[in-house]
Each structure stands twice: as C-alpha cells, then as structure tokens.
Amino acid sequence: MTDFLWNFGSFVVALGILIAAHEYGHFWVARRCGVKVERFSIGFGKAIWRKTGADGTEYVLAMIPLGGYVKMLDERVEDVPEELKDQAFNRKTVWQRIAIVSAGPIANFLFAIVALYAMYLIGVPAIKPVIDSTIAGTPAAQIVVKEPMQVMAVGGQKVRDWEEVNLALAGHIGDSEVEITVAPLERLQGSESNQQHYILNTQDWKVNPEKELPITSIGLGMYRPAILPQLAMVSDDGAAGLAGLKVGDTLVAIDGEKYSDWPRFVEIIQNSANKLVTITVRRDGEQLNLDVTPKSRENAAGELEGVIGVAPTAQPWPENMKVQLEYGFLESFPVAVDKTWQLVSVSIKMIGKLFTGDVSVKNLSGPISIAQGAGNSADVGLVYFLGFLALISVNLGIINLLPLPVLDGGHLLYYFIEVITGRPVPEKVQEIGFRIGAALLLMLMSVALFNDFSRL
C-alpha cells in the first residue's frame, strides 16, 4: 500500500509538472498573439482550487490529474461579443494558430532541456560502459575481448554510461547492422589510437524489452564486480528470513551441492518454488543447516520461480570505472540539448518501428508503468527524477505531434492543409477526423493499459 501511494503521489507530481509546462506553452504564445485565454486548467473535472488573475484568466487545479487544457475565446465554440472578436482564436492568421498549437509540444522539449540541465549541474553518478566478455551466438560475439573494454560509441554516437548505450542500441532495433566502438579501459587516456570499430550484423537480432535489455540481447557482457558468498540483505518476511538466515551468513552449500557462484545458487532457488531446500551457511565460525521453502512468483515468461529474499555482498566498483556526469554552469546547457536530441531521435525511431513491426506493441506503456517509473526514480533521488521527467516530457511532446485530429499534431495537419489550399478544412471533415482520431487514441491507450496490467 505504501508503494502504491508513493508511486501515485510521484505520478501526480510528475504529470502535473509536465502538463503545466505543455499548457503554459499554449498559454504564453496565445497571449502573445492577442488571444484571450479564459481558463488555464491543470486536471479535469471538479475544481479543487481556482483563482482569477489580473489578466482575466481563471487558473484552476481540478480533481482528475490526467491532463489539462487552455480554454481560449473561440467563435466556433461559443458566442463572442463584437468587441472581443479580434481576441478570438479563430480570427487569428493560420500561422498564428500554428504557433499557438505547436507551442505545447515545443514547451515539452524545452522543459526536457531545463530538467537535464539541472540534472547535469547537480551531477549524476554513473558507471562507465565496460565489457569483460561477449555472449556466443549473439551479434556482439565478433568483438574480441582480451581485457576490460569500454564502449566508446554506438552507431557513431558517443556514449558515457550504460544508460546511453542502452538508449543508443534501442534506436537501432530493426536495423541490419550497427557499429560499436570499443577501447581497452586501461589504455584509453583520451586517445583514439586504441579504439576498435566493429560492424555488427543485426539482421537476426531480436529484442524483447520485457525480458532483457538491448545491451544483453545484443551480447555485450557487462563488467560487474565480483559477488562474494556473504549475504548483504535478508528480507524479514522472505523465506530465508523466516527460516533463520541472517545478514553476514556465508553460503557454503545448497542441498549438499558446494556453493560455486551466485548465478548457480539463484538457479537452484528459482527451480525450487514451494520445495524444501537445505542451505548450509557459516556463522560465527559455526556451520549451520537451515531448511528453506522458497516462495513462488511469476516471471516475465509467465512461469513460476522460487525466491527467498536475499542479496549477496558485491565488491566495490573500481574507481577507474566510476564517472560523475557533472558539468559547469555553461557547459551543462549544450550537454542537456544533445541529450534531449538523443531522446527525441530514439523516441521517433521507436514509434516508427512500432508501425513497421520491428518493435512489438507489447512494449507500449500506460499510466501504471509511468507511475511506477515516477515512484522508482523519485525514490532513488532528485537527479534521477529529473532524468525521468525529461524522458516523459520528450515522449509527451512527440505523442502530441502525431497527426491524430484529437492531438495537437492533428490540428497542425489541418492548418498546414489550410496553408496549402488557402482555405480552412471543412468543419464536417474535421469532425469526422476527430472521431477517427479519438477511436485510434482510445485503442492505443487500451493496448497500453492492457500491457500495464499484464506486467503487474
């Protein structure tokens, strides 16, 4: 229940901020074009707070935090007094109407830059994208790894951490090839002479984001610090905690099989859902045998797997693999602009791949997934929440530019047709378009919600 409230609260805050930015874009440009704005609302339904400003605009916070709107004076909607007709939206030139409608998505892109600027100004602790192996039978198997290698670029795009590698790879899903640039970690020293370029054949590269990241599906073996057999976390209400395991216990054996490594231990636990296993541990110089019955849960494939609620101790990350993505007052701005462009580019590519079938519609996410993402990022810290806001803001801007008549992009489509033909699109045609657009949008939202519930 606590997680739900935290996720919901984070979702409301995130959505409120993004909607305010989007609607303020419409509001600001409308006012500059001489349009009278009657209401600026964050949310729908019954107002929980309202105030009329000196400019005559009613500012509202409404009950349902799933959107917002800017109500402008418009003769197509209501009767307008003769003395106010020059302030009506429909009386403005087509280019002014285009500016007002496009200002919302543009404001989302600008907000993403601001959020990322603040994020890089504060500083983001990250891990360099270092590989120590590649996976046989994958596109990356041709990369020769004799020592830790740092991924320097993907498809010509420089990358600084694993998040950027994952983002860049996502943009190449469905492509026939992708270039990966790597260099030995210990011999980098800012020189490009040691860099090696590989063109990976990705014609048969299949990615299921629900099960694995593009990083692992393409075959890059991420370097991870060695895992020690000592337990660092034991959940009080987990199967291990209830059976008597404690933090600091050293794993010795499981069901008589000597402990070899953490992946093998996890494999045995996962294959023992609701089955008794004996875990041998060393505690204070004594060897203890504890009977544990792993609880069951459903994995991404819909299969039951065992879980006991423990985590091992890992050695610390080597200092030469850590990086602080932090920039100065001026330097943060171009970095934020570049990152926003990357997000825009990858998001557009992913939408295109949904239509070509390279990416499954199962990857569409709705409000539940967004709420979980908001809660998780807010839980980790401010800089990660800012990054989350930037990502969602970019996606909100792009979605609103889709040429569906109920969205900003649909209105822009009508206005550009008006620019070409010299006359407005007939209202009857617009009405039909709005109905079709609403049906398509409802269908997309239904798919996204279905995907959200299937992931719970």
Q: What is the pLDDT of residues 37-67, one digit of tens each?
A: 999 998 888 888 999 888 889 999 888 877 8
Terminal-residue alpha carbon distance, the chain: 14
For residue 180, the one-letter residue type is I
More confident of the two residues 382 and 102: 102
Per-residue pLDDT at 371: 47
Task: Please provide residue 275's backbone torsions phi and psi, each rounded to the nearest 5 degrees.
Answer: -120, 140
The answer for residues whose C-beta is within 8 angstroms of residue 188's C-beta and 6 or more apart is: 150, 194
- pTM for this predicted structure: 0.76
**Nearest alpha-carbon partner for 318 in 148, 83, 200, 103:** 148
Cα(147)–Cα(154) distance, integer angstroms: 20
**CB neighbours of residue 456 within 10 Å:** 7
Same fold, 126-225+317-325 and 227-315: yes
Cα(440)–Cα(352) distance, integer angstroms: 16
Domains of the chain by residue range: 126-225+317-325, 227-315
**CB neighbours of residue 299 within 10 Å:** 11
pLDDT at 438 over 60: yes
pLDDT at 373 over 70: no
Per-residue pLDDT at 453: 47
301 band by pLDDT with thresholds 50, 70 and 90: low
Question: What secondary structure, in 3-state letters, does 46-89 show?
Answer: EEEEEEECCCCCEEEEEEEEEEEEEEECCCCCCCCCHHHHHHCH
Average pLDDT over residues 173-192: 77
Q: Which fold has domain 227-315?
A: Pdz3 Domain (2.30.42)
**Nearest alpha-carbon partner for 144 in 194, 182, 176, 178:** 182
Q: What is the pLDDT of residues 233-271, one digit of tens each?
A: 999 889 999 999 999 999 999 998 999 999 899 999 999
Domain 126-225+317-325 matching CATH 1.10.357.10: the answer reads no
For residue 142, the one-letter residue type is Q
CB 307 within 8 A of CB 238: yes
More confident of the two residues 435 and 94: 94
**CB neighbours of residue 64 within 10 Å:** 9
CA 344 distance to own-chain centroid: 12
Lowest mean pLDDT among 58-62, 154-158, 362-366, 406-410: 362-366
Instruction: Indicate which residue of 23, 163, 179, 331 is catalytic.
Output: 23
DSSP state of 90: G
pLDDT at 205 over 60: yes
**CB neighbours of residue 125 within 10 Å:** 13
**Nearest alpha-carbon partner for 185 in 327, 325, 323:** 323
Query: Is 23 one of the annotated active-site residues of the chain?
Result: yes
DSSP state of 38: E
**CB neighbours of residue 86 within 10 Å:** 13
pLDDT at 230 over 70: yes
Cα(311)–Cα(51) distance, integer angstroms: 52
**CB neighbours of residue 63 within 10 Å:** 10
- CB burial of 215-251 (b: ≥16 within 10 Å; e: otherwise) equals bbbbbbbbbeeebebebeebeeebbbbbbebeeebeb
CA 204 distance to own-chain centroid: 25
CB 243 within 8 A of CB 258: no
Cα(427)–Cα(166) distance, integer angstroms: 45
**CB neighbours of residue 159 within 10 Å:** 23
For residue 36 the two structure tokens come to 């009278």
DSSP state of 249: P
Cα(159)–Cα(181) distance, integer angstroms: 10
pLDDT at 366 over 60: no
